[in-house]
Structure 1
């Protein structure tokens, strides 16, 4: 979008701090230099076009049943693992890591290979409506820089992390503490020097078990020095309960902050959730992965009741799909499974509604990443990260009937739709993907 404003006229659906889903019909949203400059009823359109000198060709009238939603936010995805997404689902976590993941990630020292994989995963996630992603790369700084370059060229918003591991991994895929810190700081400085507001380096100790105390402490200092977000894995399996007091370890290292993204958190205690809320850190809920690797079921209802931040994630390739709509559907199934288990014990359990799931995939994810002042919903002053949804597109995966309400169609899109229905994807006002 150039200097003149662009206007979208029609229906938009988003979440607010107060409501999980709000449907606004007959509205106009003005966008200039990537930011939302007004949101008004359609009756104001002539005056707004005059006030902001909007050319008639810059007004896009959405067709019947089309609507806008905020861009989807994937709070946890392993870019190099995209190579075997949809396969190698026969093992549980730690055997899976040693058998498939570490050997695959070690290949990324080959930059030709890395370019092929990273180009495809970024393209695929954007097609699936992921306007913001929290990526893990590998140990390799050069390949991580390559991922960042691919993201920049594609126009996606992302956190990108060079993975840190200095112990308890195969010798062919491990760094020394000194190498890990030196390479990470070089990556951080080179990324910051680009001054690209869409791409941020994120401090990425892979897990407690694969990072020494010295490395964790030093990374904590690095995150404070450069004021960077943090991501890691926490309490993914029941076996993790026997190792460390996970949150205390991260907190001691200075890595538990308002923009710390903690993946999984399936087995977190009430005390740990309290600490999480106090620090303002958030949970990346990875339901597909937690089922596929047989790790367990995260009780999202309890997390929400404790007042903690939580969003959704694909966790490719532990999760076999790179679609955030799949993450939403998997989260629904997990919630219903927990409801069945509780009801069998005579408990009254409220499963997650489609409106709550929609919020987790959009505004909830932005809160977890500390980006809710910039993205997550449609508000004046925020960046225009958005998807144009068309339920009537040719070869749509679902059908629309004369008796359907708008609420029906939104639900059908969330549970049956796919990238074919996402006819345009915008990041900061720029078209990043579309048909």
Structure 2
């Protein structure tokens, strides 16, 4: 379904829930949020129904009834929530989700990942994969995604085109890898890698000149895959363009050892990026599982960001990232699905797993043996905290904190309408058509309803999705 253009001002009525701050959700009941034709929130009115809006709000905004489109979240089962932000996802790997074999990271790359990515030089195949990936992530409420593409310029440009036409806010990165990779899938030289990157930047600028919806993002795959010349060249390009960057760090123990072998003069994995000018406030580092204290301090000092990918970290047996520890260092953290290392396109699933994985740090054994009882308990994340990481945290990581992630005047309307299933008052023979995967009986508090959604929800609960005021997804099947 092509996204609709917001030809009218819009008013949304009902309950709005968002992360007011880390660890605290704010519930705005019986509220109206007014969004202008540019997709920006221009008013938030508490205790406001449609009649009050007509009588007071529209006049103040200079709106007339015939220029306004209205959406309503009904009763206790529906609410508006900010769109999810995926800070780390590999679009070309989407067909492989759930396929891990018995591999860990480096073997998995060679067996599954590189062959799939290379095959997307076929544009018909790339269109099929990318279209499905975007549709699926939108259906799960992801309004913004930081995508890794492939080394193929045309296929990368196609991903950018599709994100733009389908209305998903996106960062699209042409992957650079000229040092480590199979013969059939590797950049010819540093000059080739940089020229191809510039070509993608130019293409995205041609479709979205201000990078308002789709932006390029510089993408060295990870340190072992890139030559010194390529990393330095990307650093210079970043200084020239001020574009964001993304890469991987300390995902797997064997990967960390490989970095030591390849860069014997560097003090650490993080130091490799720092030495070559890539570690700054524009850099998004995925995983960060096996960081040392010194590395975390360096990342904090350089103001680089972290994409936490709990599903992938578990699926590939990479380890447990210490999110509370990272946050305590002053490092901004968001959530990533990391498909296809991750098995799900859902940031809600990533939030669920972030909560559960953090609990493991409270269990004696493994990494927790280095922690005191108080530190183990402190390591656990709450439902409210992981929802912050899924929205406001992700916005901070991607440099969008002034635009999205929360319901505030001046922010853009990137949002989802969530519908929870209601258990009928009377027992009927077959009530499956009445309620879905989240059962709300009606006596739950709002905190309890949100917790049920986090632990049981999926795309069946995502009824509508908007990006910058444009309706980009409507659920079309019944449950």
Superposition TM-score tier, normalisation by shorter sequence? over 0.9
**2:39 counterpart of 1:34:** yes
- Which residues of 2 match residues 288-307 of structure 1 at below 5 A? 288-307=311-330
Structure index of larger Rg: 2
8 Å Cα contact 1:89-1:293 kept in structure 2: no
Give the structure 2 partner of residue 321 of structure 1. Answer: 344
**2:192 counterpart of 1:179:** yes
Between 20-29 and 41-50, the greater mean CA deviation after superposition:
41-50
**2:267 counterpart of 1:280:** no
> Partner of 1:87: helix, strand, or coil?
coil
8 Å Cα contact 1:152-1:199 kept in structure 2: yes
C-alpha displacement of 1:257 = 2.2
In structure 1, C-alpha distance between the alignment counterparts of 2:414 and 2:60, rounded to whole Å = 24
C-alpha distance 104-207 of structure 1, shift in aligned 2 (>3 A): same
Q: Which runs of 5+ in 1 are unaligned?
A: none
**2:43 counterpart of 1:20:** no
C-alpha displacement of 1:241 = 3.4
8 Å Cα contact 1:165-1:174 kept in structure 2: yes
Give the structure 2 partner of residue 101 of structure 1. Answer: 113
- Which residues of 2 match residues 10-89 of structure 1 at below 5 A? 10-17=14-21, 20-32=24-36, 33-43=38-48, 45=53, 46-52=55-61, 53-55=63-65, 58-65=69-76, 66-89=78-101
Give the structure 2 partner of residue 415 of structure 1. Answer: 455
> Partner of 2:197: helix, strand, or coil?
helix
In structure 1, C-alpha distance between the alignment counterparts of 2:35 and 2:115, rounded to whole Å = 45
- TM-score scaled to structure 2, two decimals? 0.88
8 Å Cα contact 1:5-1:54 kept in structure 2: no
8 Å Cα contact 1:289-1:315 kept in structure 2: yes
C-alpha displacement of 1:19 = 5.3
* Matching residue within 380, 385, 388 for 2:414: 385
- TM-score scaled to structure 1, two decimals? 0.96
Q: Which runs of 5+ in 2 are unaligned?
A: 261-267, 423-433
**2:13 counterpart of 1:9:** yes
In structure 2, C-alpha distance between the alignment counterparts of 1:304 and 1:141, rounded to whole Å = 36
Alpha-carbon deviations, 1:68-108, whole Å to 9, x = none? Answer: 11000000000010011112342100000011111111101
Give the structure 2 partner of residue 363 of structure 1. Answer: 392
Give the structure 1 partner of residue 431 of structure 2. Answer: none
Alpha-carbon deviations, 1:35-76, whole Å to 9, x = none? Answer: 110112134633112222142762323211211110000000
C-alpha distance 225-110 of structure 1, shift in aligned 2 (>3 A): same
> Partner of 1:371: helix, strand, or coil?
coil
Between 346-355 and 295-304, the greater mean CA deviation after superposition:
346-355
Give the structure 2 partner of residue 159 of structure 1. Answer: 171
RMSD (Å) for aligned C-alpha atoms:
1.7
